[in-house]
Amino acid sequence: MPDDRRKRVDATTLTGVPATMMWTLRNRAVEAARPDTAFADPLAVGLYETLDYPYENFGKPSQSHALRAQAFDDEIRTFLAGHPGGTVVALGEGLQTSYWRIGDPGVRWVSIDLPEVVALRRQLLPDEPNVTTLAVSALDRSWMDHVDTGRGVFVSAEGLLMYLPPDESLSLIGDCARRFPGGRMMFDSVPKWFSRKTQKGLRIHGDYTVPPMPFHLSAGEAENLPDRVPHVAYTREVMPPLGRGPWGSTLLRRLSELPPLRNSRPTLTLCGFAG
């Protein structure tokens, strides 16, 4: 018998890229619920246990999304420590719960996502006076007019840019750099070989096919962004924290830093904008 206490999420309304927010939610929640985890995300655990959704479409849970989220959290906390009352813009936020994990009472948070995703966030997540939610595409630059730049801006694009055409991803980085001088932007990207697999149709479990990821950027290519994108002053690769098992191997981490492996794995990039 189905548990009527669980909220219903109509899977047919979450297709393509928006559906991936359920994938990342499941992985963060499963990791956060482990007794041996270093990742705390009680709000994600509550959502995962409440929502009725066919998570089995995504196969077995992985630590990867929780480790990625931790890396973003750490960089945002570092930014806010140096910019009290600063603004964080979360592009394509989905059901991320970063605002509550970071727990900074002075932060100004701007959440950007498509209307159907924003509707779900408003249904499921608490209202917060410091959070402004805009139901627009990240590519609709009108959201930039709602960002207070007075105390610094950090743009987070977690799990977003790889789904955009390459020219649009680079254009978005460039427009952020131009509109938010002295700010920062962090995003994750996939390598070229993986991008090609997704564009041919990559099934990860059963009939579930990962949405195409046309934008790819290696760690080495990210180093050259200041030469390719105006107003980007510097870039720095951000390494996620170590996890368990292979994810916690310092040997594998060192090997992943060597060419050509370094340019054949996903990467996290922090951009600093010219002031």
- Compute the C-alpha angle 62/65/70, nearest 5°: 125
pLDDT for residue 2:
43
Helices (H), the chain: 16-32, 42-50, 64-82, 98-102, 115-124, 166-179, 192-200, 219-223, 225-228, 250-256
The pLDDT of residue 11? 67
- pLDDT tens digit string along 109-144? 999 999 999 999 999 999 999 999 999 999 999 999
The pLDDT of residue 8 is 75
Question: What single-letter DSSP state applies at residue 127?
Answer: -
CA–centroid distance for 206 within its chain:
25
pLDDT tens digits, one per residue of 175-212? 999 999 999 999 999 999 999 999 999 998 888 999 99
16-32 and 115-124 helices cross at what angle (nearest 10)? Answer: 30
Given this model, what pLDDT does residue 155 score? 99
Distance (Å, rounded) from C-alpha 124 to C-alpha 43?
Answer: 10
The string of pLDDT tens digits covering residues 93-112 is: 999 999 999 999 999 999 99
Say how many C-beta atoms besides its own lie within 10 A of residue 25's C-beta: 23
* Longest Cα separation, the chain: 59
For CA atoms 275, 99, 188, 145, give the dihedral sign.
negative
Percent of the chain residues topping a pLDDT of 90? 89
**Residue 225: pLDDT over 70:** yes
- Quote the pTM value: 0.96
Asked whether residue 3 carries a pLDDT value surpassing 60, the answer given is: no
206: left (phi over 0), alpha (psi -120 to 50) or beta: left
Cα of 11 vs its chain's centroid, Å: 21
Q: 41 and 91 in contact (C-beta within 8 Å)?
A: no
Q: What is the mean pLDDT of residues 64-72?
A: 98
The per-residue pLDDT of the chain, averaged, comes to 95
Mean pLDDT, rounded, for 6-33: 89
Q: Give yes or no for residue 256 having a pLDDT over 60.
A: yes
pLDDT (0 to 100) of residue 5: 56
Are 114 and 138 in contact, with CB atoms under 8 Å apart? no
CA distance 191 to 218: 5
